[in-house]
Structure 1
Amino acid sequence: MNIMLFVPHILVKDRFDGAVMSLLAAIAIGSLIAIVNAWCFQQFPQMGLPEILDQHLPKVLSLPLIAFTALTWMSGGIFVVYSFTRTMGIFFNPEMNEYLFLFIMVMACLFAGSRSSRSVQFALEVLLLLCAPLGLFILFKTTTDRLVSWDAMRVIAGYVRHPPSFRSVAAATFLFSGYLNMQIFNRLNPPGFRLKHRWLIPLLGASFAFFTFFIPIGFHGTIGVDQYMYLWSVTADSMVLKYGFVQRVVYLFLLVFSILSLMFVMNTYHCAMEMFKACWIQYQAKAEESPVPKSNWIICAIFGALSFAYASWSNDQKNQWATEWWLIGRFCVEIFATCITLIIVYLARKKTKVRAPRGGTANYGK
């Protein structure tokens, strides 16, 4: 979803001023943050971030942190749903009212995001399996297209010695922010759960980072690439399937990103909803809820209304500005949250060790 949040566009603006080094720094920083957080949440099986904070911090500290995290989740979903409707309106049906696209998307995400965590998890898995083959095919097409210029990519890669910029590093680390889902979905992990194949995090993150940055440069050149706001949509529209029943790759691209946008906004609505619910005094975390509580519908309906309010205020330039600052703020929040989580893990392990019987062995994690 970094494409819908203008991450490639931000990097392209700094392509001569440290974007390449920013990518390399983001791969190291993002991988470290993701792996550290995955390890931290493994120490608290069947617990989400709200329960962890409530258990180890006083209410005067835990409630503001939970509420601020919820606002971060909610705003990310609003930015994506707006960017998606703008993209669909420009490249799919320019004559259609963009608020109709927004209404359809918001209603789908309102229904999906208000489900239980277990249902959302299953939906994410199914949707990922549906769009992964098409997404991999598009990436394969971008690297084998005869119009792509590898020389233009090599020219930009030559600027690797320029120092990184904070804006580009903050934007590029969003590629590694998938671990944030564990703030809620860690409730579904049983005791003894261990995240396997963590070496794939830097590998996949680096692959997508270089794809999303260098491929548009290969199609549009080192100078012309910064003339487009919806960079990857234009890049997909530059490719054709010579022997395909769908000639323009942009239609496959929009199909994939319709699914991915639904996944992302459904996920952000659900996580923000759970965070806001955790601010209530009598809240009890539940992985499965049947029937769906009315509070879920109400909170997600508020998110949908805020999406319409943002759409009425925003335009392409305002949305790009807001998204850029959101990416910077998210990066700072992730670093702060990682430090807080590490401190909590240290205190929890120390408390467990002290409580172990004398002469015995404290089982406080591996």
Structure 2
Amino acid sequence: MIPFNKPAVIGDEVDYVNELINNREKFSGDGLFTKKCSALIEDLYDVKKVLLTTSCTHALEMAAILLDIKEGDEVIMPSYTFVSTANAFVLRGAKIVFVDIRSDTMNIDETKIEQAITNKTKVIVPVHYAGVSCEMDTIMEIAEKYSLFVVEDAAQGVNSFYKEQALGTIGHLGCYSFHETKNYNCGEGGALLINEARFIERAEIIREKGTNRSKFFRGHVDKYGWVDIGSSYLPSEFNAAFLYGQLRNVTLINDDRLSSWNLYYESLKPLADNKVLELPTVSEFCGHNAHMFYIKVKNLEERSNLIEHLKTKEIGAVFHYIPLHSSEAGKKYGTFIGTDLATTVESERLLRLPLYYDITKEEVLNIVKEIKAYYSVENRGDQIERNYSSRR
């Protein structure tokens, strides 16, 4: 069986967790390993302040609180994203304004943002799908023009770059995920990246349940109390110790994943050249992290059939999001502005293939072999190409 995902384990994680246990100094959040992880991310990606959180979901929720999202505010984002992107702002009373995506990168279509802006718009949330960056220059220019905030949902974008700037560090705030399905993980975890100093002090308060506890431990106040709204967003030191072992091996993990991603791409390129399927698009200004490898097939029916074929060969291939604007809650809490030209049709064509740290060359080539078998020229190739060409 080749699963869709295996959480990365390098080996160093055990040493740091054992160190934590043996020291027996602090197991709850914001201890030595939390500080080490935060400092390492700040140094790697040139971030003003990084606060580890229990998840990317919680990082997004903190961002919504920090930006004082209130009832009636509008937040623009793509419909093709995970529910947490929207939920974080809906919880504060915002209306979600969905816009279409680009068919090449599956990211928000930056040319559709401006038409969705009203006098109630407060935030733009670009989602860097598959670790491939959105057109951040354009998005930041629009935000500046209309005095809007930008919160980067970079859950899939850790160690990806836009014009050599790390994803999550370009907007006012950025959000990372360290869920077990991500390149660098601690089972469940995340981080809020704060790119403007004015947000730092309040972010610490929000993460500490609304107290000024961080200032107390730094000796800035003689006692701490409840000063703002907040919640318990701190991960435990066990999560942080495990994550530190991963972050110390960023290059090792990244190189391994990129090698597998490139092998998929080159091996499947003949099918793409014959217009049997499409491969991912990575813009020239993006340094991506090989978070996922996907293909696009003709339509929903073909995707279902291919998933079933791979399943019979014990290969775990899966589809991804159902567009939020078509969901029950999406209709209740949001609206789609413009025409859905790409979001639905492209989401129904996309199929994710197994990709994780230490997947072997033989496993990747076996997956490719089974995809090619499904699209065997003798049995199906001519008809597939005719169908694909007519669709285009």
TM-score, normalised relative to structure 2: 0.25
Greater relative contact order, per chain length (Cα 8 Å cut-off, separation 6+): 1
Higher helix residue share? 1
TM-score, normalised relative to structure 1: 0.26
